[in-house]
Amino acid sequence: MATDVIYRSGGLVLRADTNEKDPGEIFMAECRKCSATSHVVDDNRLLVEVWTVNHSKENPGHQQYRLTTDTFWAVGRAGKRL
Ligand SMILES: [Zn+2]
């Protein structure tokens, strides 16, 4: 997984936190009409995409969603990995 620098200042570097115990990303969708939500899914946005289409099929007129994506960051000294 990439560990590109996001921001650097004063000898500290902000990077994506890519340790092996945490997911890279967490996804959840919420219907903007009825507030129904998908399951919270680690690292597989396709499951959330499928949920939104199925929700629209089952609920005509429910066509807009809010996607929430959580990612993890870590700050460390420049030149050192966490
Ligand atoms: Zn809905």
Helix, strand or coil, per DSSP, at residue 70: strand
Least-confidence region, from 4-8, 20-24, 73-77: 20-24
Chain centroid to CA 66: how far? 12
Task: Please compute the mean of the pLDDT values over residues 30-39 and round it to a whole number.
Answer: 98
Q: Which is nearest to 25 in space by CA: 11, 44, 39?
A: 44
What are the residue ranges spanned by the domains of the chain? 5-77
Rounded distance from Cα 72 to ligand 1 centre (Å): 29
Rounded distance from Cα 46 to ligand 1 centre (Å): 18
Rounded distance from Cα 47 to ligand 1 centre (Å): 17
Rounded distance from Cα 23 to ligand 1 centre (Å): 27
The pTM of the full predicted model, rounded to 2 decimals, is 0.79
The one-letter code for the residue type at 65 is: Y
